[in-house]
Structure 1
Amino acid sequence: MSRPVRRPSPRGLPLRTVAPNAVTALALCSGLTGIRFAISGQWETAVLMVMIASVLDGIDGRIARMVRGESRFGAELDSLSDAISFGVSPALILYLWSLKDLPRLGWLCALIFAVFCALRLARFNAAIDVVEQPHKSAGFLTGAPSPVGAGLAMLPLYLWFWTGLDFWRSPLLVAPWVAAMAVLMVSSVATFSWSSLRLRTHIRFEAIAFVVLLGAALISAPWHTLTFLCVAYLATLPFSVAAYGRIKRQRGLQSVVLPASAASEPAPEHEAH
């Protein structure tokens, strides 16, 4: 009796996964390059590298879904890239810019930010296969995403760029701010998930016009615009918490009403055998 011939298992990554993984690798390179410019004191370029990494991080997943190139390798590479680009890189940039004047406390805050970013990503990866995710099922995120956390942490840098005031460079201001943004990333605060928003038909043209104006503002006055975006995002936190609280209460009422209505229904009579 002849044995069945075993076909060799395919090795390597499919060709369709190359494009999204290459974009993720570029994001990683951009985040690391930000550290290089921070070492040489080119602060604006260093922040720009982190911003480019955030843009690349936002499109690599869409490219993967477009070409059906999702893979476990890509997910792991994306998490590694995020941990470095939005955790390690902003922490080192802020340390070299301001926190080094408080060697112990400043380095502690930088460490907290980098580690908390990694912890957030680890929590996200661990919850990928979890079916019951209350925030996600309601259209919310848990805490601030790592790119948003990096952008918020560098708010003192934006203010220093366009005001020129050394007040914003004070480590006594930067250290608690960085620590607070690190806590926001790993917190259980419900934040808006912009990908789950659905615009009404009659305001879609206005939304396109707003995006165009925002892009023009980022090109002409980047630091003013980034400051505005950070303040606007922080201003949405009370509304996102309140909105999720309403949904949570509605779910609680539904969970109470449904069992009660089921109990009030007469039990089916069993036929005699």
Structure 2
Amino acid sequence: MSDIRRDSARRGIPLRALVPNAVTALALCFGLTGMRFAIGGEWERALGSIIIAAVLDGIDGRIARLLKGETRFGAELDSLSDVIAFGVSPAIILYLWSLQHLPQFGWIFSLAHAVCCALRLARFNANIDAVEQPHKSAGFLTGIPAPGGAALLFLPMYLWLWTGNALFSETWLVAPWAALVAFLMISSLATYSWSALKPRRGIRLEVILVVALLGGALISAPWATLTVVAILYLATIPFSIRGYARVRRLRAAQQDAA
């Protein structure tokens, strides 16, 4: 048995796992690049970098499953990348954009986002091998995911870039919003897992059409589109909570019947 373990250690990461891990590392690079643009005051490029990081984060797991290259190393790398790309970088960007103008307390709100993102991912890693995961088994997430948290955190920036109204950069508006998003990340609220959604066969063409139109809208009017998407995502949370409560009632009824 020891010889087998030594051979496995010598082989290291399987070749099929290199591609998804490289995509994860690329997402990390884009997250850090967002901070670099924010330091220079290039807000649109800063947000664009985080958005690209989120897209890459969304496909690396699917690439790993497609290539059968899922490894524990990849899972750990993905979490570390998420902490930086969707926790640290958005916190710095928001601080440089608005929260630095809130004396003493602005940095605390930025820290809250980064720390809550790290806590969420630590909770995820701690439960990754758990047998009992009620939310996951029902097709839900616990709290909002790290990329979703970063996307929601930037909602005031989307509105500011879209409308040009300086009101949306005011610290009295941005600070409580950052606190709310931080809470949603570490909360126990059931939220929809998009990977668990399976459109019915009869509406798949319509789904493709919506995705194509969404892509076109992101290119032609990115900040207005992202504003609408963020608001719609927030609107799904009450429905996901109600949906999970219904699942819990059905499970309880089945247990009573058994």
Q: Once the two structures are superposed, what CA deviation does each residue of 1:167-193 show, in whole Å capped at 9, x if it has no partner?
A: 000011000100100100110111111
In the TM superposition, what is the alpha-carbon distance from 1:103 to its structure 2 partner?
A: 3.2
Which whole-Å CA distance do the structure 1 matches of 2:65 and 2:138 have between them?
Answer: 22
Q: Secondary structure at the match of 1:9?
A: helix
Q: State the match for 2:222 in structure 1.
A: 222
Which whole-Å CA distance do the structure 2 matches of 1:56 and 1:145 have between them?
Answer: 15
Which whole-Å CA distance do the structure 2 matches of 1:15 and 1:197 have between them?
Answer: 31
For residues 116-195 of structure 1, the aligned pairs below 5 Å read 116-195=116-195
Give me the CA root mean square deviation.
1.2
Q: Once the two structures are superposed, what CA deviation does each residue of 1:77-133 show, in whole Å capped at 9, x if it has no partner?
A: 100000000000000000000000013211001001000000000000111111111
Using the TM superposition, name which of 99-108 and 29-38 deviates more: 99-108
Which whole-Å CA distance do the structure 2 matches of 1:110 and 1:125 have between them?
Answer: 23
Structure 2 gaps, min length 5? none
Letter of the aligned partner of 1:70 in structure 2?
Answer: E
Which whole-Å CA distance do the structure 2 matches of 1:103 and 1:123 have between them?
Answer: 32
Which whole-Å CA distance do the structure 1 matches of 2:103 and 2:77 have between them?
Answer: 32
Which whole-Å CA distance do the structure 2 matches of 1:36 and 1:103 have between them?
Answer: 23
Using the TM superposition, name which of 12-21 and 136-145 deviates more: 12-21
Which whole-Å CA distance do the structure 1 matches of 2:111 and 2:103 have between them?
Answer: 12
Q: Secondary structure at the match of 2:105?
A: helix
Which whole-Å CA distance do the structure 1 matches of 2:19 and 2:117 have between them?
Answer: 26
Letter of the aligned partner of 2:141 in structure 1?
Answer: L
Which whole-Å CA distance do the structure 2 matches of 1:74 and 1:109 have between them?
Answer: 30
Which whole-Å CA distance do the structure 2 matches of 1:225 and 1:100 have between them?
Answer: 27
Q: Once the two structures are superposed, what CA deviation does each residue of 1:17-57 show, in whole Å capped at 9, x if it has no partner?
A: 11111100000000000000000000000000000000000
Q: State the match for 1:268 in structure 2.
A: none
In the TM superposition, what is the alpha-carbon distance from 1:197 to its structure 2 partner?
A: 1.2
In the TM superposition, what is the alpha-carbon distance from 1:199 to its structure 2 partner?
A: 1.1
Q: State the match for 1:3 in structure 2.
A: none
Which whole-Å CA distance do the structure 2 matches of 1:67 and 1:238 have between them?
Answer: 36
The percentage of counterpart residues that share the same residue type is 63
Segments ≥4 residues shifted beyond 3 Å: none
Structure 1 gaps, min length 5? 1-5, 259-273
Q: State the match for 1:78 in structure 2.
A: 78
Which whole-Å CA distance do the structure 2 matches of 1:139 and 1:245 have between them?
Answer: 13
Give the count of matched residue pairs: 254
Q: State the match for 1:24 in structure 2.
A: 24
Structure number with greater Rg is 1
| TM-score normalised per structure 1 | 0.91
Which whole-Å CA distance do the structure 2 matches of 1:17 and 1:168 have between them?
Answer: 43
Which whole-Å CA distance do the structure 2 matches of 1:166 and 1:190 have between them?
Answer: 34
Which whole-Å CA distance do the structure 1 matches of 2:201 and 2:60 have between them?
Answer: 28
